[in-house]
Amino acid sequence: MNLIRSFRNAVQARLSPTSGAALSQPAMNVAMLGVVTMMVLVANAARAFAIPAAGDFGFDVYDIVVNQILNGPIGFIGGVALIVFGATQIMKNWFTTILCIVAGTVLIRADDLVVTLGAMVS
């Protein structure tokens, strides 16, 4: 969203009233909708990630990072810590609370999310 907003501000700065080519707000919104639509239409298809087989290059790194850290006790404790930290921040900053709870949930359920998002996990 910030990328779109910064792009819109850059276009408005280029077409400032001093240049005589300023766009009205509805015209700018239509132009931005066209840019976003083109970005969606041109996007590549998602690629699934195949887990390396035992003995392949990178299997040891994958095993340590994903199986032992992310899906292990370190990932679980990190997820719970994020959720607890988010709960303690609820009165100070609700946006931080939402981000921490979502990030903690993603960290705890990372293996299910990988399957849901299209990666092949065996």
**What CA–CA distance (Å, rounded) separates 51 from 71?**
14
The per-residue pLDDT for range 83-94, each reduced to its tens digit, is 999 999 889 988
The per-residue pLDDT for range 15-63, each reduced to its tens digit, is 555 555 555 677 777 777 887 787 777 766 555 566 778 888 778 888 8
Give Cα 7 distance to the centre of its chain.
19
Residues 6+ apart with CB under 8 A from 105: 79, 83
68's tokens = 């032992």
Q: Which of 95, 100, 96 is nearest to 83 (CA)?
A: 100
